[in-house]
Structure 1
Amino acid sequence: MNRVIFFISIILSILDCQKANAQKISNYTMASFSDKGVLAPKEWFTGTVWLNMNVKPEEEYNVNIGTVSFESKARTNWHSHTNGQILFVVEGIGYYQEEGKPIQLIQEGDVVKIPKNVKHWHGASHQKSMRHIAMITEVDTDKTEWFEPVNDKDYNAFKAPFYEVENRLSPIAITNHEELWPEYISKVKETDPDLIEIFDNFAFDEVISHDKMDVKLRVLLIMASTIASQGLTEYKMFVHAALNVGVSPIEIKEVLYQSVPYVGITKVIDFIHETNEIFKERGISMPLESQSTTTTETRKEKGLAIQKEIFGDRIDTMYKNSPKDLLHLQEYLSSNCFGDFVTRTGLDVKTREMVTLSFLIALGGTENQIKGHIQGNLNVGNNRETLIDLMTQLLPYVGYPRILNAINCLNEILPNQK
């Protein structure tokens, strides 16, 4: 029992060390690890694989523990161990297969227990790298036997990795989901397959098929709604999705910054921290290039100008009708909300107005502001059809009550001309 506890403590120490000190891998390529070790022998591995022996067989512990870093598509040959093997996946996504069984997806946090004398292989996935810690105990009696390489035909046989939900998801739902999160493995799929079937067939087939909205814009608008909804977990998913489909880090940060005057810094600060963590993982240098176009002296003037561009003469009326003791709020709107934020580059005005409408819809209870920004969207060139598409795409993420309230506002400001 003491020996088992000792081995577990070694593994936990290694995992902690990996988390604390290793640079995170990027989405599609293996980062350069200072501790990645030496290149694995080509006779036993396909592709680029690095080995780092953490605990060597000749040491006193009678255990072999090594960190193995696979670049995308890299893998071991078929092989077996007389004493079995345990894999601790610490980063990335990979594959594991035993002879005669289907390929399994493995990802960070998974523990793979390989039985004694079972012929198997493991390695990285098609698009992402993978890093695991491999452990063999009782090394003095273990024998590893190497066999033939895993050929491309067998390796490529693994298709539609996320959705093995008994073929209950439509091909369109699978394709659209894979576009946003290639090879992502959902834990909810295992525990709540009925929900995955219902939600994904609806959100990634039926809803997306409603219109031809550009995928980058759609992802940005949904991401904006998750900030206002305080859905931090889903927000992180959509930051990854945005980067996966080619949205720039600047565009992501501009949506995040613009949420502050609508949602409040108290609710946004955690989203800023999580975004920065994702950027670090992806190797995106910060701070990003500034998108500011105003100074302390010009922010009110430029803010007022862009307010009038969006809302027209209504702004003059708002200033004229404001009580003196509330006039400062009108000035804050011009100089801060619009001067500090909406004047920034990185997103055009049409996109910013759609992003703002996404915030307001997701917040709920903002019907007066929704009506104003529906008119603002119209003024900058976003017509009724465009706004219906926006509301449709937000539906799975904010729910029916908020969307139906927004539709009522739309019908009041922009009635359908039959």
Structure 2
Amino acid sequence: MTSIKEQGPEAPTAYFTGTVHVNLAVTPEDKLNVGLGKVTFDAKARTNWHTHPYGQILIVTDGIGYYQGKGKSVQIIKKDDVVKIPKNVEHWHGASHQNSMTHIAIVPSDTNATVWMQAVSDEAYDKALTDEKSAVTISEKAHQNHNQLWPEYQSNFAQTDPELIQVFDNFAFDEIVGHDNLDVKTRTLMILASTIASQSVTEYKMFANAALNVGATPVEVKEILYQSVPYVGISKVIDFVKATNDIFRERDINLPVEPQSTTNPQTRHEKGLAKQKEIFGDRIDDMYKNAPDDLLHFQHYLSANCFGDYVTRNGLDVQIRELATLSFLIALGGTENQIKGHIQGNANVGNGRQKLIDLMTQLLPYVGYPRTLNAVNCLNEILPPKK
């Protein structure tokens, strides 16, 4: 048995600059059609430029380092990063200026072939220091929470807009996520709901994939989407339907998903009205009673269409549906009257003040302060804090 715990002997200076230790755990003599070793670089140490005829994979296990492909900018690499290097690509890698770096190197070849070239000059290496100073510094907690939603995802914005990503990720995925105990699936589905009302197809795609990654079913994703129609409008939702279908096809999820309707044209009004009363109580009778004759049809539409066609569906329980509806309304903005009604509706189905505070907290990075604080004001009016 071979141990990879030790550093191993120093690497030859002909191929490396600075102090580098190489521990080859798998060699050509093992005849396993792969080379594998642990390479530890002291600060400022690095390889020469080189290529691998069969490509290479680097798995960073400790520290901070650099990787650069020929003609490309330097990438900052750190613990848990995976670098996939295509065959015959000229490149170098090593530790950063201030930190050591250790990686596992995997070469898919019995010969462990490496074509070595010239050393990386101090001038070329020092150019990476500018990139390192502007590199994204993400907290370990933020990294873990982000990776839970999107395993191994590498954002291009980390290279083009590092300061923004650093501030946002540390806030949204560490400080905000750490505020409360809202479970990850519910939190992800509610953010997903807000992206529909915010008309952000790009962010919706991210969170649709995230929801599936953390255990939401295709039906649950579709039901969030369908429920948005009576609140956001089909003109705004139809692009999200297409985006969802594209994602499902990419993930080999069969379309259409299982049907969830519980009503038909004959029962939709009756069942919808019953669902309204389940959530909002006797005030629904007052809404019918107080509606002018020329506006009464809107009450019928609310019962039969909004509730009968959508809210009565299976796939999501009533608590999640009410949270999703509130997420739509908060993200839309200018819906304070409806927000107040659905804050009370949430309370009626068991989503108390603390859960609604948790929801509003999690939506904050995605909908902004004005909409969130307007919703908080509505919450304090309908469900004031206990003194």
TM-score by length of 2: 0.71
**Residue in structure 1 matching 2:111, options 143, 146, 171:** 146
Contact 1:165 1:189 in 2 (8 A): no
Q: 1:268 corresponds to which residue? A: 237
- Structure 1 unaligned regions, length at least 5: 1-41, 47-77, 88-93, 124-143, 150-163
Contact 1:188 1:196 in 2 (8 A): yes
Would the alpha carbon gap of residues 113 and 290 (structure 1) be closer, same or farther in structure 2, given more than 3 Å must change?
Answer: same
Would the alpha carbon gap of residues 79 and 249 (structure 1) be closer, same or farther in structure 2, given more than 3 Å must change?
Answer: same
Q: 2 CA distance for matches of 1:337 and 1:122?
A: 58
Q: 2:261 corresponds to which residue? A: 292
Would the alpha carbon gap of residues 117 and 275 (structure 1) be closer, same or farther in structure 2, given more than 3 Å must change?
Answer: closer
Q: 2 CA distance for matches of 1:329 and 1:95?
A: 62
**Residue in structure 2 matching 1:177, options 141, 146, 157:** 146
User: How many angstroms does 1:293 deviate by?
Assistant: 0.4
Q: 2:319 corresponds to which residue? A: 350
Contact 2:134 2:163 in 1 (8 A): no
Q: Which moved more, 1:164-173 or 1:397-406?
A: 164-173
Q: 1:340 corresponds to which residue? A: 309
User: How many angstroms does 1:361 deviate by?
Assistant: 0.1
1:217-296 matched pairs, under 5 angstroms: 217-296=186-265
1:82-121 matched pairs, under 5 angstroms: 95=57, 105=82, 114-115=89-90
Would the alpha carbon gap of residues 268 and 167 (structure 1) be closer, same or farther in structure 2, given more than 3 Å must change?
Answer: closer
**Equivalent residue of 2:152, what SS?**
coil
Per-residue CA deviations over 1:204-246 (Å, capped at 9, x if unaligned) read 0100111000100000000000000001111000011101111
Q: 2:370 corresponds to which residue? A: 401
Would the alpha carbon gap of residues 299 and 44 (structure 1) be closer, same or farther in structure 2, given more than 3 Å must change?
Answer: same
Query: Cα RMSD between the aligned structures?
Result: 3.2
**Equivalent residue of 2:314, what SS?**
coil
User: How many angstroms does 1:170 deviate by?
Assistant: 1.3
Would the alpha carbon gap of residues 344 and 145 (structure 1) be closer, same or farther in structure 2, given more than 3 Å must change?
Answer: closer
User: How many angstroms does 1:122 deviate by?
Assistant: 6.7
Per-residue CA deviations over 1:3-60 (Å, capped at 9, x if unaligned) read xxxxxxxxxxxxxxxxxxxxxxxxxxxxxxxxxxxxxxx95459xxxxxxxxxxxxxx
**Equivalent residue of 1:146, what SS?**
coil
Q: 1:321 corresponds to which residue? A: 290
Residue identity in the other structure for 1:114: V
User: How many angstroms does 1:310 deviate by?
Assistant: 0.5
Q: 2:9 corresponds to which residue? A: none
**Equivalent residue of 2:252, what SS?**
coil
Q: Which moved more, 1:408-417 or 1:354-363?
A: 408-417
Percent identity, aligned pairs only? 62
TM-score by length of 1: 0.66
Would the alpha carbon gap of residues 401 and 101 (structure 1) be closer, same or farther in structure 2, given more than 3 Å must change?
Answer: closer
Would the alpha carbon gap of residues 317 and 169 (structure 1) be closer, same or farther in structure 2, given more than 3 Å must change?
Answer: same
User: How many angstroms does 1:169 deviate by?
Assistant: 1.6
1:53-132 matched pairs, under 5 angstroms: 80-81=52-53, 95=57, 105=82, 114-115=89-90
Per-residue CA deviations over 1:163-213 (Å, capped at 9, x if unaligned) read x98572211111111110110010000011111110011000100111000
Q: 2 CA distance for matches of 1:169 and 1:389?
A: 23
**Equivalent residue of 1:213, what SS?**
coil
**Equivalent residue of 2:52, what SS?**
strand
Contact 1:362 1:398 in 2 (8 A): yes
Query: Is 1:415 matched with 2:384?
Result: yes
**Equivalent residue of 1:168, what SS?**
coil
Q: 1:383 corresponds to which residue? A: 352
- Structure 2 unaligned regions, length at least 5: 1-30, 36-49, 60-64, 68-76, 94-104, 115-132
Residue identity in the other structure for 1:115: E
Structure 1 runs of 4+ aligned residues shifted over 3 Å read 42-46, 78-81, 94-97, 100-107, 110-113, 120-123, 164-167
Would the alpha carbon gap of residues 122 and 148 (structure 1) be closer, same or farther in structure 2, given more than 3 Å must change?
Answer: closer
Contact 2:223 2:316 in 1 (8 A): yes
Per-residue CA deviations over 1:57-108 (Å, capped at 9, x if unaligned) read xxxxxxxxxxxxxxxxxxxxx9734xxx9x9xxxxxx9469xx97577568x
Q: 2 CA distance for matches of 1:341 and 1:334?
A: 10
Contact 1:96 1:122 in 2 (8 A): no
Q: 2 CA distance for matches of 1:101 and 1:376?
A: 53
Residue identity in the other structure for 2:159: E
